[in-house]
Amino acid sequence: MSEVLAAQRLFDLTGEVALVTGASSGLGARFATVLAAHGAKVIAAARRMDRLTELAAGNPGISPLALDVNDTASLEESLAQAELMAGPLTLLVNNAGIAGSGRIADTTLEDWRAVQNTNVDAVWHLSRAFAMRLMARKSVGAIINIASVASMKVGETSASYAISKAAVLHMTKAQAVEWARFGIRVNAIAPGYIHSDMTDGYLASPAGHAMIQKIPQRRAGDPSDLDGTLLLLASKRASGFMARTAIIVDGGHALA
C-alpha cells in the first residue's frame, strides 16, 4: 500500500516552477499567490508590470514578467526569460483571457477575433511552446487551462466568449491525449461567476443580482473558492493520474 500523505505534503509544491498568465489582477493574481504560498516558485506574467511588481513586492516566491500572450513571436523568448529567473518551468496556468459580449448578429469581426486570439490562440501557442520545452529535456509537468461554466451554458449575450471557452475545454482534451505519454498532465478549471475585476461591474448590476438568484447557492464565488481545485491540479501527488479533467466550480450554476 502506498504511503498516506498528510494534506501539507500532498499539496506541497516545493520544487515546482509555475508560470501564471493574466496574473496582474483577479484570478491570476490569486493563483500566483496561492501557488507561492504552497512552495512553488511563481512567474507572474501579464502586460501591466506595475501591478505585477506590486504583487511580487510582498511575496518573495513571486517574480514579475512582462508578457503579452497575443505576441506569438515573443513567447519562446518569454519562456526562456522565465526559466532564467526561476529555473526550469514545470507548471503552466493559462489564465489570461478577455470577456466578449453581444449576440452573434451584433458581434463585429474585430471583437470576435480579439476574444478568440486571447482565449484560444494564445492558449494553443503558449501551451505548445511550454510542452515542447518539457519534452526536449524529458521533464514531467502540468498545464492548467482556465475555461468557464460558459463552456457548457451559453448566455444570450456572450456567444463569442462561450465559444472560446468551449474550445479551451476541447483543446484540454487534445493536449492531454497527445502529451500524457510524456508525463505532462493537462486539466482544466471551469469557474462560474467569481468576483473579479472582470465580473464585479456585472455582478453589482440589476441583471447580475437576478442572475445570482438563479445559482443554486445564491451567490457568486470568491476567488478563494478556487484554491483547492488549483492545488489539486497543480500537485503531481494529488492529481498524478488525472488527465483532460474539467472541474466545474460554479455553485451549481450549470445545473440551473
Question: What is the full DSSP assignment across 29-45?
Answer: HHHHHHHHHTT-EEEEE
Integer Cα distance of 94 and 6 in angstroms: 29
**Each residue of 93-106: b (16+ CB within 10 Å) or e?**
bbbbbbbbebeeee
* Active-site residue flag, 202: no
Integer Cα distance of 169 and 123 in angstroms: 11
CA-to-CA separations, 68 to 16, 24, 71, 189, in angstroms, rounded: 23, 12, 5, 22
Catalytic residue among 11, 31, 130, 161: 161
Q: What angle do CA 227, 232, 233 make, to 5 degrees?
A: 105
Q: Are 31 and 230 in contact (CB under 8 A)?
A: yes
φ, ψ for residue 189, nearest 5 deg: -115, 130
Q: Mapping DSSP to helix (H, G, I), strand (E, B) and coil, where does residue 249 land?
A: strand
Cβ count within 10 A of residue 46? 25
β-sheet with 141-146: strand ranges across:
62-66, 41-46, 17-21, 91-94, 141-146, 184-191, 246-249
Would you please indicate which residues are annotated as catalytic (active-site) residues? 161
